[in-house]
Structure 1
Amino acid sequence: MQLILFDSPAVRTALLPLTYARPVADLRLGSLTIAEKWARQLECPVSYLTQDYLRERYPFQSGQSNLLIDGSLLPTVELLSFVRELPLNTIYYAADELMVAHLDPEQLATYARDETLALPRHELPHLPLLRITRPADLFLHNDRALRDDFDLVTNGRISAALPKSNRLIGPADQLFIEPGVDIESCTLSTRSGLIYIGREAVVLEGGMFRGPLAINAGAIVKMGAKIYGGTTIGDRCKVGGEISNVVFQANSNKGHDGYLGNAVIGEWCNLGAGTDASNLKNDYGEVKVWSYAQRAMQPSGLQFHGLIMGDHCKTGIGTTLNTGTVIGFSSNVFGAGFPPSFVPSFSWGGAGELATYRLEKAVATAERVMARRGETFGSFEEEVFRRVFADSERYR
């Protein structure tokens, strides 16, 4: 069976700026991406139906039997049981949106070409679906996702030993350490949930950690960091300061003091020293947040809502960000005062003025940033930058 995770156009737009450079299913939630969760649960290869400019890295492939699933859906127990029993050439909708289908090669080719299917439509049975339809859903559901992923990743395996210089508070079976981890003189509490530390992660002295928490492979946690539950430190990220209920996708830095809570940070970002992002209004009221779907500020229904930051963004030292700030793809934010609560992609500046960050300068910076991690800024990355620059022009 071939698993194909497709982008719902409406959901993909609602999840911007996080989906400018990846399919919906490549978003990290818990310690794994959505695609990784499905692949592990169904034990089959994954491909994608996504934006044309992303297909070089996220290709579309078909098989003799093809399970087509909306990439914003998480593999709950109930949904997994349902899709495992789907007869061939059946399709299921919910509120006029395609959710899942099981297709032969001919039917799949038709859908991939023009997104139509000449098959009887069935209404999806009432299942407890868990779906990511806005950026805030990533931090809202991260606690549950961390717990689910912990079982998925560690089941039947034995953790490496925690060095004696550390202090563990809570159940030992809720701590899992992969091979090659370097951690000394830290305090870890599993009383409120698991702690997972990925292969070759480095956790420097004096850190205080409270689960549920994942520190993924190759991540570095700076000295004296304070990290609270519901947090994912994505692969090869470098973090420090105070962090609570934050999802870092991968390869991003918050290496210094400063507070970050109820937030989602994309890939290849850097938060300058002393950057603070509010997650609670002074009047304790509902936070309004920029919606790409509505192209306007919208009520979030949340009292706690912090920063949403797209890929390749930077903040200068001492940057302060308002509650619920949304920063688009490849923006550089700096200076005194609070910048706008919505910073469009390829913006340069802050509270005083936002200018357009010239494409060639943004590309040159990304090349240098990726080279420091041994990664190459190639033709795929350049095409992403050019397409996002053009697509986001309307907002600048």
Structure 2
Amino acid sequence: MIINLFDDTAWESLRPLTLTRPVADLRIGILTIAEKWARTLNAEKGFVTQPYLQLKYPALSRAELFINGSVCPDPLLIEAITCLKSGEQLEYNSILLAFKISVNDDPATVLPGSLKPVRYTTAITKVSYPEDIFKWNDSELKKDFQLITKGRSSAAIDSSNALIGEDIFLEEGAETYCATLNSKSGPIYLGKNSQIWEGTNIRGSFALCEHSQVKMGTKIYGQTTIGPYCRVGGEINNAVIWGYSSKGHEGYLGNAVLGQWCNIGADSNNSNLKNNYAEVKLWDYAKEGFRKTGLQFCGLIMGDHSKCGINTMFNTGTVTGVSANVFGAGFPRNFIPDFAWGGAQGFEVYSLPKMFETAKKVFERRDMIFDETEQGILEAVFNSTKQYRHF
């Protein structure tokens, strides 16, 4: 099967996380949304997204089935989508969930409402705002754990570990020594060639994706996902880190989402609860203002390529855009625009040449090339976010 995952208006409300990727490329649980659909449908996947992202995330020309990239699969929804006939679209209230066309049809000519509607009435898991990722990470992690491990056996777990519960699965090459792993509240998954170092305490649900490392003495609470090629330490609670990012030192990260290529300096902390226990508001790119989240606990949302220096303090409900560099004493503002350079004492524009110079070095450390495609995406983000940089 060949599928394309399309962006809807969630792409706008999920910024800054989606400024550098389609919605379906967001990680929630163990897998990205696109990976979930590809696995469950045994399908080859493509993306229908913003023009400046299509070179990196191409659409597949032979696809007949198009699925909303902000919606996570579940058994009933999978059944409803696979039962669609050519010329039909599946709808949940006003949300277009999926549509099917003939292989000879041009999807660009398919207008909303032009296909025969099929109603879907069961509740769905739709990622519409950044906080939805950590809010629903626990339930998605448990579903992904079942999807990935069903019918398989875990690699051996060294006897030096203290194991509480039985829902612990290690992929080939995963290592953990002298750690406490408690899966009574949720499963613990260690991806291929991942490592948990000595003295770590982990409480499920928890996922450590391939080639990532948890440093000595780390404390990780449930509902947390560390994506591939990351290194983490300190104290982490209900957080999702996409991949290729580091929080390698002491400091607290909670109710948070970090994108790719981020780095959190030593002894940096985010607050996830206001002193007056009031509802947390988050910056909304579309509104150009703050939006009520309905949450009492909400920490840091950080876009790709952003970094902070040592001892950085993030207020409750801080949104940091793409390619921001934050440092200095005091609390910076609750919205740090894309390509901002500075901190509580003030910001200036983080110029593209300067940012590219750093990104090239970061990629080289991973034996990767910061190519023209990556540069083109960041240049497009830089230009499209100018209105938020009021320095």
**TM > 0.5:** yes
Residue type matched to 2:53 in 1?
Answer: L
* Contact 1:93/1:121 (8 A) holds in 2: no
Who is 2:73 aligned against? 75
Look up the match of 1:103.
101
**Residue in structure 2 matching 1:330, options 316, 323, 328:** 323
The corresponding residue for 1:48 is 47
SS of the counterpart of 1:168?
strand
Report the residue type matching 2:336 in the other structure.
Answer: V
Query: Which residue does 2:193 correspond to in 1?
Result: 200
Letter in 2 for 1:154: T
1:374 counterpart letter in structure 2? D
Code of the aligned partner of 1:165: S
Partners in 2 of 1:204 and 1:376 — Cα distance?
Answer: 29
Match of 2:346 in 1: 353
Hey, what does 1:212 align to over in structure 2? Answer: 205
Query: Quick one: distance in 2 between partners of 1:327 and 1:123?
Result: 40
Q: 2:236 is matched with which residue: 231, 243, 250?
A: 243
The whole-number CA distance in structure 1 between the counterparts of 2:193 and 2:90 is: 42
TM-score where L is the length of structure 2: 0.97
8 Å CA contact retained: 2:30, 2:141: yes
Q: Which residue of 2 aligns with 1:367?
A: 360
* C-alpha distance in structure 2 between counterparts of 1:93 and 1:191, whole Å: 37
SS at match of 1:257: coil
Paired amino acid for 2:4 = I
> Residue by residue, what CA displacement relative to the aligned partner does 1:25-54 show, whole Å, maximum 9, x if unpaired?
000001100000000101111111011121
Q: Is the 1:30–1:146 contact (alpha carbons within 8 Å) kept by the matching residues of 2?
A: yes
Match of 1:24 in 2: 23
Please list, as runs of the form range in 1=range in 2, the aligned pairs for 1:142-291 lying within 5 A after superposition: 142-170=137-165, 172=166, 174-291=167-284
SS state of the match for residue 78, structure 1?
Answer: helix
Distance 1:46 1:129 in 2: 21
Shift of residue 119, structure 1, vs aligned partner: 3.2
CA deviation map 1:160-199 (0-9, x unaligned): 11101111012x2x00011112211111101111000011
Deviations along 1:142-177, one digit per CA (max 9) or x if unpaired, are 00011000011111111011101111012x2x0001
Alpha-carbon distance in 1 for matches of 2:242, 2:345 = 30
- CA 1:257–1:207 in 2, change beyond 3 Å: closer, same or farther? same
Query: In the alignment, what sits opposite 1:316?
Result: 309
**Aligned to 1:247, what secondary structure does the other structure show?**
strand
Instruction: Provide the C-alpha distance between the structure 2 equivalents of 1:120 and 1:48, rounded to a whole number of angstroms.
Output: 21
Change (3 A) 1:311 1:140: same
Over aligned residue pairs, what C-alpha RMSD do you find? 1.2
Cα-to-partner distance string for 1:67-91 (whole Å, 9 max, x where unaligned): 1111001001111010111111112
Offset, 1:93: 3.4
Residues in 2 aligned to 1:313 and 1:192: alpha-carbon distance in whole angstroms: 32
Give the counterpart letter for 1:347 in structure 2: A
Q: Is the 8 A contact 2:266 2:311 kept in 1?
A: yes
Question: What secondary structure sits across from 1:385 in the alignment?
Answer: helix
Percent of aligned positions with the same letter in both sequences?
A: 46
TM-score, structure 1 length as denominator?
0.96
Contact map agreement 1:78 1:128 (CA 8 A) in 2: no
Equivalent residue, structure 2, for 1:392: 385
Return 5+ residue gaps in structure 1 as ranges.
none
Report Cα offsets for 1:232-287 as digits up to 9, x if no partner. 00001100000000000000000000001000000000000011000000011101
Separation (CA, whole Å) in 2 of partners of 1:100 and 1:45: 16
Deviation at 1:125, TM superposition (A): 2.1
Using the alignment, how far apart are the partners of 1:185 and 1:339 within structure 2? Answer: 38
State the aligned residue count.
Answer: 389
Contact 1:2 1:62 in 2 (8 A): no
